[in-house]
Amino acid sequence: MRIDGTAYRTIWPEEDGSIAIIDQTRLPHDFSVVRLTTLDEAAHAIRAMLVRGAPLIGAAAAYGVALALRTDSGDAGLEGACATLLATRPTAVNLRWALERMRARLLPLPESQRVAAAEAEAAAIADEDVEINRAIGGHGAALIRAIAGRKAPGEPVNVLTHCNAGWLATVDWGTALAPVYAAFEQGIRLHVWVDETRPRNQGASLTAWELRHHGVPHTVIADNAGGHLMQHGKVDLCIVGTDRTTASGDVCNKIGTYLKALAAHDNGIPFYVGLPSPTIDWRIEDGLRQIPIEERDGREVSELTGRTADGRIETVRVTPDGSPVSNYAFDVTPARLVTGLITERGVCAATREGLLGLFPEQA
């Protein structure tokens, strides 16, 4: 994506061997690039959410392995790096997927070849993510185009999205937002309702920032507004991302996604999920019982951070002293509430049969 005329991915290797990332904890106030040089820095970047979003977490972990092997390219170094990175965040399955792919590629190699092979494999994971998302964009744009064809002339298609599943959550393009960007490029008139996505506000801070830079018409709304908008005919379709989707089509995504799916179901509004294949967990069927849900620091709920009128970044408390808080980061939307899964190989039903129809090699 282009920011002020410069093309960026969210992660890239530098000439000096470091790995550059955009520090997403500073957006939308500062665009700041950080260099990662060690395993610990890579693990911290994922844990503290300098990088976040399932596909980007996977790519960052792959580059983290490459950084780790520079210090210790033996079997113990490789296994230790994978264990450290796997422990950073529990829900997005792309993390496990990327680490298993790195391990399978690197373990059989002699130690002397591992660093170069790790760098090449991490770069391949990043490049593949871009192509997967580009394909998701094409398939999803066709859905948006079909809806646009049924609207009155000049009326935009209203898309509602939750959290940030745009290019910042991936290496480029995004998953849920890839169809939006593709449709926008095709000249389809659209407008995006952006859920603020408390507690960390990835919608208000990141999705809005992305869409604004790309010139896509959008409006940030409080998380609780979506149902009201749907009841009044102001949402044509929902598209969200996912951190892990089971083999039977249950969709785990940012907390609050389930409530949007319920409201969409009640109002007969299509609810789609942008799903790159590395986000499918083929080993599990029951999302409610089998997906580990991350619980994060309660201060993300009890505090709010923002920029003051005179440019200072400030954090303020919004709960009374002594009130307990809890902070579940994800929820599971049962497959029955999902209209379709937009994958790189096309759109399918959120069922085992639907997914296997597109990915028969997983049968």
Q: Give the contacts of 83 (CB within 8 A, at least 6 positions apart).
A: none
Size of the site for ligand MRU (CB under 6 A): 18
**Residue 329 in contact with residue 233, Cβ under 8 Å?**
no
Tell me the window of 108-116, 221-229, 237-245, 341-349 that interacts with ligand MRU (CB under 6 A). Answer: 237-245
Q: CA 240 to CA 255: how far, in whole Å?
A: 12
Instruction: By CB under 6 A, name the one of 1, 54, 68, 115 that touches ligand MRU.
Output: 54
| Residue 201 binds ligand MRU, judged by CB under 6 A | no
Please state the closest distance from residue 57 (CB atom) to ligand MRU, in A.
7
Instruction: By CB under 6 A, name the one of 20, 142, 304, 329 that touches ligand MRU.
Output: 329
Q: CA 354 to CA 358: how far, in whole Å?
A: 7
Residue tagged 């200072």 (tokens):
312
Tell me the window of 12-20, 162-170, 318-326, 354-362 that interacts with ligand MRU (CB under 6 A). Answer: 162-170
| Residue 253 binds ligand MRU, judged by CB under 6 A | yes
3-state helix, strand, coil in the chain (%, to 5): 45, 20, 35
Instruction: By CB under 6 A, name the one of 88, 242, 277, 343 that touches ligand MRU.
Output: 242
β-pair type (11-13, 190-195): unpaired
Q: CA 48 to CA 41: how far, in whole Å?
A: 10
**Residue with Cβ nearer ligand MRU (175 or 343):** 175
Please state the closest distance from residue 142 (CB atom) to ligand MRU, in A.
19
The structure tokens listed for 129 are 């993510």
| Residue 175 binds ligand MRU, judged by CB under 6 A | yes
Catalytically active residues, by annotation = 243
Q: CA 26 to CA 167: how far, in whole Å?
A: 16
82-141 residues in contact with ligand MRU (CB under 6 A) are 92
Instruction: By CB under 6 A, name the one of 169, 216, 264, 347 that touches ligand MRU.
Output: 169
Burial 285-318 (b: 16+ CB within 10 A, else e): eebeeebeeeebeeebbbeeeeeeeeeeeeeeee
Helix 54-71 and helix 39-47, axial crossing angle in degrees, nearest 10: 160
Helix (H, G, I), strand (E, B) or coil at 340: strand
Residue 254 assigned as binding residue: yes
199 preceded by a cis bond (ω within 30 of 0): yes
**Residue with Cβ nearer ligand MRU (36 or 273):** 273
Please state the closest distance from residue 135 (CB atom) to ligand MRU, in A.
14
**Residues in contact with ligand MRU by the rule CB under 6 A:** 52-55, 92, 163, 165, 169-170, 174-175, 202, 241-243, 253-254, 329
Annotated binding site for substrate: 52-54, 89, 202, 253-254
